[in-house]
């Protein structure tokens, strides 16, 4: 099915984008997204209400609407046109805040490391950051074969095609060379890892954060920030770049303080938009016992 979508739907979406105004394009594909969300709801059902980690400071349960996957299928449409997001008609649909330090770092020849979480349409972070003029790449686990043919077909459409969109586990050397060449490197801050720090958050909640991004920034004297992409609905987005980690925290032995700074940039966003937190993110939260099981969002 992925191969069929790559051969049929991807060219179809790109063709529609070329001949229709943005609003008409969005209207044309919205019905497709609604059908997919409806089918998903019929097959999978609607998730049960879930409690939130105590640090979210909300006693309310997170409840999902019937077409709870609609935002996901809507927002994915722009993955068919990553090479066009820099055009004003699309870039105007994404509010971008905090990117100036990254642009200055690039102009000064300083490497940039970006930490991200499984929040919102995080898969599109790289494309929107590239649209803003920075050829960012993901560093992910596994091998190229773990990604579908459709995903790899979309990769080939990226802006700055000379810069790989993804580096894998065995490509750390090329990833670092790309970083040193001035291309931001993006690493997840909510994945299981051998080397991590245990952060104590409000109300006793703990969060396990891998330190790979921090150690990479320390080793290469890089600017270190967080990035979150929020989906606002109807193909409008908000890209939030956090305040850079202070230089004095990017030294050996201060990983926990650097990690806490990163978390402080994003926790208010998580609290305000818990519906956009993915399962991978929720699973990194724990109760107040270091040996307890991961947070269960069900």
Residue 5: pLDDT over 70 = no
| Residues 165, 174: Cα–Cα separation, whole Å | 12
φ and ψ at residue 230, rounded to 5 degrees: -105, 130
Give the pLDDT confidence of 171-196 residue by residue, as tens digits.
989 999 999 999 999 999 999 888 99
Is 1's pLDDT higher than 70? no
Closest CA to 77 of 144, 4, 154, 129: 154
Sheet holding 196-200, edge to edge: 196-200, 206-210, 285-286
CA distance 172 to 150: 24
Nearest CA among 175, 188, 210, 184 for reference residue 116: 188
Neighbours of 200 (CB within 10 A): 14
The domain defined by 2-286 folds into Glycerol-3-phosphate (1)-acyltransferase (3.40.1130)
Say what the pLDDT of residue 291 is. 44
Give 196-241 pLDDT, tens digit per residue: 999 999 999 999 999 999 999 999 999 999 999 999 988 899 999 9
Contact (Cβ atoms closer than 8 angstroms) between residue 10 and residue 80: yes
**H-helix segments, 203-254:** 212-219
pTM, to two decimals? 0.91
Name the DSSP class of 244. Answer: P
Q: pLDDT (tens digit, 9 = 90+) per residue, 103-113?
A: 999 999 999 99
How do strand 196-200 and strand 137-139 relate by DSSP bridges? unpaired
pLDDT grade for 34, boundaries at 50, 70 and 90? confident
The pLDDT of residue 227 is 98
Between strands 206-210 and 196-200, the pairing is antiparallel
Q: What is the spatial distance between Cα 32 and Cα 45, in angstroms, rounded to a whole number?
A: 19
């Amino acid at each position: 099915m992925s191969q069929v979508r790559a051969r049929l739907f991807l060219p179809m979406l790109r063709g529609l984008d070329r001949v229709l105004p943005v609003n008409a394009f969005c209207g044309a594909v919205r019905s497709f997204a609604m059908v997919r969300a409806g089918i998903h709801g019929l097959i999978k059902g609607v998730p049960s209400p879930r409690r939130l980690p105590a640090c979210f400071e909300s006693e309310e349960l997170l409840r999902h609407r019937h077409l709870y996957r609609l935002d996901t299928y809507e927002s994915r449409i722009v993955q068919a046109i990553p090479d066009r997001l820099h055009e004003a008609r699309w870039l105007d649909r994404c509010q971008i805040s905090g990117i100036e330090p990254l642009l200055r770092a690039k102009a000064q020849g300083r490497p940039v490391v970006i930490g991200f979480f499984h929040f919102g349409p995080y898969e599109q972070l790289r494309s929107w950051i590239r649209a803003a003029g920075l050829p960012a790449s993901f560093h992910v686990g596994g091998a190229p074969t773990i990604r579908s043919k459709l995903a790899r077909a979309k990769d080939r459409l990226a802006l700055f095609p000379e810069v790989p969109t993804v580096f894998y586990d065995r490509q750390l050397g090329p990833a670092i060379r790309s970083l040193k060449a001035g291309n931001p490197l993006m690493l997840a801050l909510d994945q299981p890892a051998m080397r991590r720090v245990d952060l104590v958050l409000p109300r006793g909640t703990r969060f396990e954060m891998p330190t790979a991004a921090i150690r990479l920034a320390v080793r290469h004297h890089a600017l270190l920030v967080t990035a979150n992409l929020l989906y606002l609905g109807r193909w409008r987005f908000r890209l939030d770049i956090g305040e850079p980690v202070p230089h004095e925290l990017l030294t050996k032995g201060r990983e926990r303080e650097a990690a806490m700074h990163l978390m402080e940039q994003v926790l208010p966003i998580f609290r305000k938009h818990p519906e956009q937190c993915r399962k991978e993110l929720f699973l990194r939260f724990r109760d107040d016992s270091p040996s307890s099981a991961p947070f269960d969002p069900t």
